Chains A and B, each alone.
Chain A
Amino acid sequence: MQPRTKGLVAALTGTALGVGGLVMLTVPAGADDAPVLPEISAQELVRTALQADPPAFAGKVVMQQNLGLPVPTGGDGSGAASFGLGFESARIFHDGDEGVRIAIQDLSAEFTLVRNADELWTYDSAENTATRLDTDDVEAAREQAGKPGPRRIPSRQPAEMADPAKVAQAIVDRLSETSTITVDGTAMVADRPAYELVLTPKPTERTVLREVKVAVDAETRLPLRFEVMGNGSTEPIFSLGFTEFTVGAQPERLFEFTPPKDAKIVDAQKALKERADMAPSPQEQEAMQRFGSALDVVGDGWDTVLTGKVPQDVPAERAHPDGESDRWDGDAESPQDLLDGYGKRITGAFGAGYVITSNAGSALITDDGRFAVGAVPVQVLEQALAK
């Protein structure tokens, strides 16, 4: 072969191979063709999902959101962290029994939760702090403190599990009042065949959401992915699901935890106890109560709107100071500035205020401190407040 031919062949073959490999990398996992699975009814799918007993597995969960909020998100641009959702990806290990390890990953840090039959540890690598709890105390502490405890997998409540068929029926019935619930085809999620359980709002529902999809693993019947779809977009507004999911025994050491040397160890038992003992001040209690009683739910199903009144120390407008010092001091932008910058001023039967819209819904806040939030168009919020 002439060198020119040889060179040309080498260049073409090598480049084709290399580019082919790179293209392979761009194909997202689970984009394969929909698998063929036996037909199943929605009710049966819900029943089996409720009954499912998670096997030992290792998986990776990724969260993506495309809320389309006009407000700039956190400095890292990832968005998720700024909304208190706390993570973009996490690894989950489960021994099929009590043991769970969840690792929430940051670029160069990790928040780890290890739970086994006896104890629950959390470890924050950025702070080098380990926190310990007795597993038995977790539930109690949660009740006592009135605060949600650390993340844990959904525990199976024996009472509810008494008759999964009935529970499934009840759930499906309840949902059917406002939604069409179907098993709409199949999908590959984390390389596993799954059923897509789809909830579509009934035509009477006034919502900006198109549908909610839950992918249920065909084999284990575990939910693998949760997606919220909005109108006018094929990309989910919000998606939380496994990108990797491997069923199989996990090494036991993953469900044990020994804090590293030099780590600060927090006795959570004590901390929680102290917290519980430290009763809120009467003012605090009163404020909480007032806020709680001011909350109201208007409508049901997809067009549910939450209304209420902003607590007094968060003034909706500077014209309404109530003597307390501005707690937003030090920050460049006050809530008022934010509203001016990102909200749209509207007036209507409800009065006057600002509206902020996103892909997932909208929020309305009036000049006199009332607010309404829902996965609905603005008009629905206006009506809710005008009532």
Chain B
Amino acid sequence: MTAIAWDETPEVTDRRHRAPLSRLVLAEVRWIFRRPRTLVVLALLAIFPPIIGISIVLAGPGEASGEAPLFVAAATSALSIPLGSFMMLMSLFLPLAVAMAGADAIAGEQSVGALRGWLVAPVSRGRLLAVKVFGVLAVALVAAGLVALTGLTTGLILNGMDGIITLSGTTLGFADGLGRIGLAVAWVTLQLLAVGAVALAISTTTEHPMLVVALVLGGLIVSQVLSVFDSLSWLHPFLLPEGWVAAMPQLMRDPVSLDLLGEGALRAACYVVIGLSLAYARIVTRDG
């Protein structure tokens, strides 16, 4: 133990001081990707596509039909494993990853009392939310990127560099294929950000991260159930997961069919706006 080794204490003025936003974001990202739970979920996401690839090799070509999973219906294309993995993982596992990130970001920090540390630093409420949004975005991007990376690698190993084949029967060059996977990653990231925005909004209202995860996943499952009923078709365009399954194969058509993707992106953007505005409204009025 030593004596206090401070430099000269600066005088108080009415000048506002803020820590650089980049430093906050960096600290946030460092914190997120050191959380064991986050790492486990990301690792599971990353090994999903290779597992699918191995299954295809072991099981041989499956019963081909238009309604089969993408990597069965188009087993000979290197694109089918990354895009098919997205189709399957979007139904639960990818949203789980961002819901957890959104839950930990505010409710989780609040529950261990660490949020106060930043609030008295001080980090203003608006900046705090911005940093948290960056963090959730980082998780979404890394999760989607990992699936795409291991998926495309698996697909290329199984089908060769000349195996980037579309559902329309055309063969794409590597750059074109990479571009499509990039588009898929961007689109999936946006959808996940929408999930994360809702999670953040709920996260600002509670101290129980598990409650946030449960509500977000519960909402997704209810949405997916509702989208099954034709009689509720008027409601379907309001449901975030609408089109999650159908969108990915659009990237495997030649030319790319953008209408479903565009509609899904707009829907996700609406959810982001709603989620973040509610989260902001709550975080600026909440007691720290």
Contact = CB atoms under 8 A, between A and B. Distances in A.
A binds B: yes
Interface of A: 3-4, 6-8, 10-11, 13-15, 17-19, 21-22, 24-26, 60, 76-77, 91, 103, 105-110, 112, 121, 123, 125-128, 130, 244, 251, 253-254, 257-263
Interface in B104-131: 125
A125 B74 CA distance: 6
B82 to A, nearest CB: 14
Contact of A126 (B64, B171, B230, B276): B64
Given A26-B238, A105-B257, A127-B64, A260 B76 contact: yes
12 contacts: A14-B280, A17-B277, A25-B238, A26-B234, A76-B67, A123-B168, A125-B169, A126-B64, A126-B68, A260-B169, A261-B160, A263-B76
Given A7-B285, A18-B270, A107-B245, A125 B73 contact: yes
Interface stretch (B33-41, B215-223, B261-269): B261-269
Contact of A18 (B68, B245, B257, B274): B274
Contacts of B13: none
Given A7-B284, A260-B169, A108 B238 contact: no
A14 B170 contact: no
Contacts of B171: 258, 260-261
A320 to B, nearest CB: 36
Interface in B213-244: 230, 234, 237-238
A91 B169 CA distance: 15
Contacts of B209: none
Interface residues of B, number: 51
A24 B263 CA distance: 10
A60 B65 contact: no
Nearest to A29: B259
A18 B279 CA distance: 14
Closest 4 CB pairs of A and B: A14-B277, A106-B66, A18-B274, A123-B169
A262 B70 CA distance: 17
Contact of B267 (A25, A107, A108): A25
A162 to B, nearest CB: 38
B255 interface: yes
A171 to B, nearest CB: 35
B253 interface: yes
B162 A105 contact: no
Given A6-B284, A21-B270, A109-B167, A13 B70 contact: no
Contact of B273 (A14, A60, A110, A121): A14
Nearest to A101: B168
